[in-house]
Chain A
Amino acid sequence: MRQQEKSKMTIQKSHWTSLLLITLLSALPEVTLAQELSTGNTAWILTATALVLFMTIPGLSMFYAGIVRSKNVLSILMQCFAITCLVSILWLVYLYSLAFGEGNIWIGDLSKAFMAGVGKDALAGDIPETVFSMFQLTFAIITPALIVGAFAERMKFSSMLLFSAIWVTLVYAPVTHWVWSDNGWLKNMGLLDFAGGTVVHITAGVSALVAAIVIGKRHGFPQTAMPPHNLTMTIGGAGMLWVGWFGFNAGSALAANGDAGMAMMVTHISAAAGAMAWMVMEWIRYGKPSVLGIVTGMVAGLGTITPASGFVGPAGALLIGLTAGVVCFGATNFLKRALKIDDSLDVFPVHGVGGILGTIAVGIFASTELGIFSGQGFAKGVSSMGQQLGIQFVGVISILIYTAVITFIILKVIDMVIGLRVSKEEEIEGLDIALHEERGYII
Chain B
Amino acid sequence: MKMVTAIIKPFKLDDVREALSEIGVQGITVTEVKGFGRQKGHTELYRGAEYVVDFLPKVKIEAAVSEDDLDKVIDAITKSANTNKIGDGKIFVSALEQTIRIRTGETGREAL
Do they bind each other?
A: yes
Binding site for B on A (CB under 8 A): 67, 222, 225-228, 286, 288, 290, 292-293, 296, 332-333, 336-337, 346
CB pair B46–A228 under 8 Å, yes or no, is yes
Residues of A with C-beta under 8 A to B48: 332-333, 336-337
Contact of B45 among A290, A296, A346 (CB under 8 A): A290
Chain B CB within 10 A, most for which of A225, A337, A346: A225
8 tightest A-B CB contacts, nearest first: A225-B51, A333-B48, A336-B48, A332-B47, A286-B45, A292-B46, A332-B48, A336-B49
B68 at the interface (CB under 8 A from A): no
Cβ of A330 to closest chain B Cβ, rounded Å: 10
Cβ of B41 to closest chain A Cβ, rounded Å: 10
- A and B contact pairs by CB, cutoff 8 A, 5 listed: A227-B44, A227-B51, A288-B45, A337-B48, A346-B47
Residues of A with C-beta under 8 A to B47: 292-293, 296, 332-333, 336, 346
> Whose C-beta in chain A lies nearest to the C-beta of B48?
A333
Q: CA–CA, A226 to B51, complex, Å?
A: 8
Which B residues from 15 to 53 make CB contacts under 8 A with A? 44-49, 51-53
Q: CA–CA, A286 to B53, complex, Å?
A: 17
Which B residues from 37 to 92 make CB contacts under 8 A with A? 44-49, 51-53
Residues of A with C-beta under 8 A to B49: 222, 226, 336
> Whose C-beta in chain A lies nearest to the C-beta of B51?
A225
Q: CA–CA, A333 to B49, complex, Å?
A: 8
Q: A228-B46, A332-B47 are in contact. List 16 more A-B contacts (CB 8 A).
A: A67-B46, A222-B49, A225-B44, A225-B51, A225-B53, A227-B44, A227-B51, A288-B45, A290-B46, A293-B47, A296-B47, A333-B47, A336-B47, A336-B48, A337-B48, A346-B47
Q: CA–CA, A332 to B48, complex, Å?
A: 7
Chain A CB within 10 A, most for which of B49, B51, B53: B49
Q: CA–CA, A43 to B44, complex, Å?
A: 47
Q: CA–CA, A78 to B70, complex, Å?
A: 57
Cβ of A129 to closest chain B Cβ, rounded Å: 41
Cβ of A275 to closest chain B Cβ, rounded Å: 14
> Whose C-beta in chain A lies nearest to the C-beta of B53?
A225
Residues of B with C-beta under 8 A to A290: 45-46
Q: CA–CA, A222 to B44, complex, Å?
A: 14
Residues of B with C-beta under 8 A to A346: 47
Cβ of B37 to closest chain A Cβ, rounded Å: 20
Residues of A with C-beta under 8 A to B46: 67, 227-228, 290, 292
Residues of B with C-beta under 8 A to A292: 46-47
Residues of B with C-beta under 8 A to A228: 46
Cβ of A279 to closest chain B Cβ, rounded Å: 12
Cβ of B29 to closest chain A Cβ, rounded Å: 22
Residues of B with C-beta under 8 A to A222: 49
> Whose C-beta in chain B lies nearest to the C-beta of A336?
B48
Residues of B with C-beta under 8 A to A336: 47-49
Residues of B with C-beta under 8 A to A67: 46
Q: CA–CA, A128 to B53, complex, Å?
A: 56
Cβ of A225 to closest chain B Cβ, rounded Å: 4
Q: CA–CA, A284 to B53, complex, Å?
A: 22
Cβ of B51 to closest chain A Cβ, rounded Å: 4
Cβ of B68 to closest chain A Cβ, rounded Å: 43
Q: CA–CA, A225 to B51, complex, Å?
A: 5
Residues of B with C-beta under 8 A to A296: 47
Cβ of A258 to closest chain B Cβ, rounded Å: 37
Q: CA–CA, A292 to B45, complex, Å?
A: 9
> Whose C-beta in chain B lies nearest to the C-beta of A278?
B47
Residues of B with C-beta under 8 A to A286: 45
Cβ of B58 to closest chain A Cβ, rounded Å: 19
Chain B CB within 10 A, most for which of A67, A296, A336: A336
Q: CA–CA, A431 to B11, complex, Å?
A: 35
Residues of A with C-beta under 8 A to B51: 225-227
Q: CA–CA, A367 to B101, complex, Å?
A: 85
Residues of A with C-beta under 8 A to B45: 286, 288, 290
Cβ of A227 to closest chain B Cβ, rounded Å: 6
Cβ of A411 to closest chain B Cβ, rounded Å: 24
> Whose C-beta in chain B lies nearest to the C-beta of A67?
B46
